[in-house]
């Protein structure tokens, strides 16, 4: 895999990966904020290395999102842009049609583990 950095709002992902990778941590931000930050980074020439909706957990169900991008910058990667725009559109649709439940702290921690584990298996 290419050298990478991580954009996340997941405190567990930040804690687990910050010793190995550069992290852009969006503390107390929504998953949609992560997707929009990733889109901004793609516009700067970074390439998407993990899919922003890479689990069966629906975008309105989990408040956490962790995405990997290439450190190297190049020309605008249209495939990365198409994927992130599709993820933003899908997330907007789910959030409009189905509100995110008011999860307990225990369930929120479970979502952190799921999100972190998906990225761990994608990059290690």
- Tokens coding 71: 């450190």
Alpha carbons 35 and 37: distance in angstroms, whole number: 5
Strand (E) or helix (H) holding 39: helix 31-43
Range of 114's domain?
4-123
Q: pTM for the complete prediction?
A: 0.96
Per-residue model confidence (pLDDT) at position 115: 98
pLDDT averaged over every residue in the chain: 97
Per-residue model confidence (pLDDT) at position 100: 86
Tens-place pLDDT, residues 54-105: 988 999 999 999 999 999 999 999 999 999 999 999 999 999 999 889 999 9
* Total of domains in the chain: 1
Report whether 100 contacts 32 (CB < 8 A).
no
Report whether 48 contacts 32 (CB < 8 A).
no
- Confidence at 1, pLDDT banded by 50, 70, 90: confident
Q: What string of DSSP letters covers 55-66? A: SSS-TTT-S--E
């Amino acid at each position: 895999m290419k050298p990478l950095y991580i954009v996340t709002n997941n405190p567990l992902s930040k804690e687990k990966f910050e010793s190995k990778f550069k992290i852009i941590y969006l503390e107390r931000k929504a998953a949609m904020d992560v997707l929009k930050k990733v889109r901004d980074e793609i516009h700067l020439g970074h390439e998407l290395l993990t899919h922003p909706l890479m689990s069966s957990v629906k975008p309105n169900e989990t408040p956490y999102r962790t995405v990997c991008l290439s450190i190297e910058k190049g020309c605008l990667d249209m495939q990365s842009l198409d994927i992130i725009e599709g993820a933003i559109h899908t997330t907007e649709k789910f959030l409009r049609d189905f509100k995110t439940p008011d999860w307990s702290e225990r369930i929120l921690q479970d979502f952190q583990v799921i999100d972190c584990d998906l990225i761990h298996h994608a990059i290690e």
